[in-house]
Amino acid sequence: MWTGGCLCGAIRYEVRGDPIYIGHCHCSRCRKSSGAAFLTAALFPKDSIEWTTQVPKLYPSSAGVDRGFCPNCGSSLTFQSPGRLLLLIGSLDRPENVDMSDPRRFEANHVFFSEKLPWIHLEDDLPRFDRFAT
Ligand SMILES: [Zn+2]
Ligand SMILES: [Zn+2]
């Protein structure tokens, strides 16, 4: 089981199961909302996430997409669309334990690579998509 939450602890969650997809998104919206150079999000099996405190506040950032955050400390927590919720991987308590070494464990890629900051240099061999993964 995975656990995680926001910086202040007002929002906490538990997740059963392992990620089925991990995406590194380099789009400008993810950059703005996270304040980071790019955003890494993990999709877990549907309904495997349980909020053990309050649920994140949602901001509708584009059509059909909500971004969840803690209204107290502002931590970015989720990227959601109907029927699909990705946890931002930095909100996990132990993101270092996600095993990225075996590409057969789950799908992983870079999306909106065309918007990647020019001074970010990546050495992984994950698939890179200009916009959405195909
Ligand atoms: Zn918080
Ligand atoms: Zn994005």
Segments making up each domain of the chain, as ranges: 2-115
The answer for 83, left when phi > 0, alpha when psi is -120 to 50, beta otherwise, is left
Q: pLDDT digits over 15-47, tens only?
A: 999 999 999 999 999 999 999 999 999 999 888
| Phi, psi dihedral angles at 14 (to 5 degrees) | -125, 145
How far away, in angstroms, is 83 Cα from ligand 2 center? Answer: 18
How far apart CA 116 and CA 37 sit, in angstroms, is: 8
Q: pLDDT digits over 33-89, tens only?
A: 999 999 999 999 888 999 999 999 999 999 999 999 999 999 999 999 998 999 999
Q: Which ligand is nearest to the CA of 36?
A: 2
Q: Which ligand is nearest to the CA of 41?
A: 2
CATH number of 2-115: 2.170.150.70
How far away, in angstroms, is 92 Cα from ligand 2 center? Answer: 19
Instruction: State how far the alpha carbon of 7 is from the alpha carbons of 93, 97, 120, in Å.
Output: 10, 19, 25
How far apart CA 128 and CA 62 sit, in angstroms, is: 23
The pLDDT assigned to 104 comes to 81
Q: Which ligand is nearest to the CA of 129?
A: 2
